[in-house]
Structure 1
Amino acid sequence: MTEPPLSAADRYREVAALATQGAQQLRDHERAKAQRLRDELPDGRARLTEAEAEHAEVVDGVRKRWDHAMDALFDEKWMQVSRMPDADSDAEPCAPSEAIRRVQVAYLELRDTLGQPGWRATSWLPRRPWRSRRRGPED
């Protein structure tokens, strides 16, 4: 047998009950999500504090090595010494300890180059392919 059709009032109550149930489920979901975020917040703050400390350590390490490099180049009157350049945004990401190590290696290479007899600034710069070729009549 077929059931008699619901009246408009009964259908309204049915739809209102479904909407109320959906709203309650959404509130429960949002409360649970807010609690998860509150639980994660201390860990996020700790990671942020750690990242800020690592950043400060890298900046300090780079600044110290820059200052040492400028001291090493002080007697080279022909070389114009500038302020420390801004960070290279195109550099590949790496761990803070690796960043400091790379700067230290570059600084030590500079010191070694400056210690060599008869060094030239161009001997320290990387070779470019277009400079290494001799221009002949065909060029």
Structure 2
Amino acid sequence: MTDAVERYRELVEAATEAGAALREHDRATAERLGEAVAKGKQRQEESARQREEAIADADARWKAALGALWDERWLRSDGKPAPDRSAPPATPEESRKAMDEAYVDFHDSLAKPGLLRRRKA
């Protein structure tokens, strides 16, 4: 009978150790997952901020372009165009650079002779 009691104690001890190891594993896993969720939330907030900045920048560029064409009453706009969903994926920095380049090209084209009517001073 003492062998059975000793074996029972060994099994209980092994089960207790396994339970403690499992709780420690679960705690470590929960901690890692919590950190991953926090990092994901930070990335999501940063992405939302970058998106809002890009939209504000695009709106400002659009208003500036309309201002540059203010004297050209014949040139009508139906409003700001919708985003080009066929554009290749790009980072916010790449998108902003492309928008800057397009804006510079637009202003360069306005300086070309004969493109638009010019009011006489």
Instruction: Normalising by structure 1, report the TM-score.
Output: 0.59
- Counterpart position of 1:62: 58
Unpaired segments ≥5 residues, structure 1: 1-27, 121-139
Normalized per residue, which structure has more helix?
Answer: 2
Residues 79-108 of structure 1 deviation map (CA, whole Å, 9 limit, x = unaligned):
112321221222111111211111111111
RMSD (Å), alpha carbons: 2.5
Distance 1:63 1:100 in 2: 12
C-alpha deviation, 1:34, in angstroms: 4.6
Q: Does 1:103 align with 2:99?
A: yes
Residues 65-92 of structure 1 deviation map (CA, whole Å, 9 limit, x = unaligned):
1111111111111111232122122211
Show the 5 A alignment for 1:75-114.
Answer: 75-114=71-110
Relative contact order higher in (CA < 8 Å, ≥ 6 apart): 2
Which of 44, 50, 65 in structure 2 is aligned with 1:48? 44
Q: Which moved more, 1:70-79 or 1:32-41?
A: 32-41
| Count of residue correspondences | 96
- Counterpart position of 1:116: 112
| Residue identity (%) | 31
Distance 1:96 1:36 in 2: 29
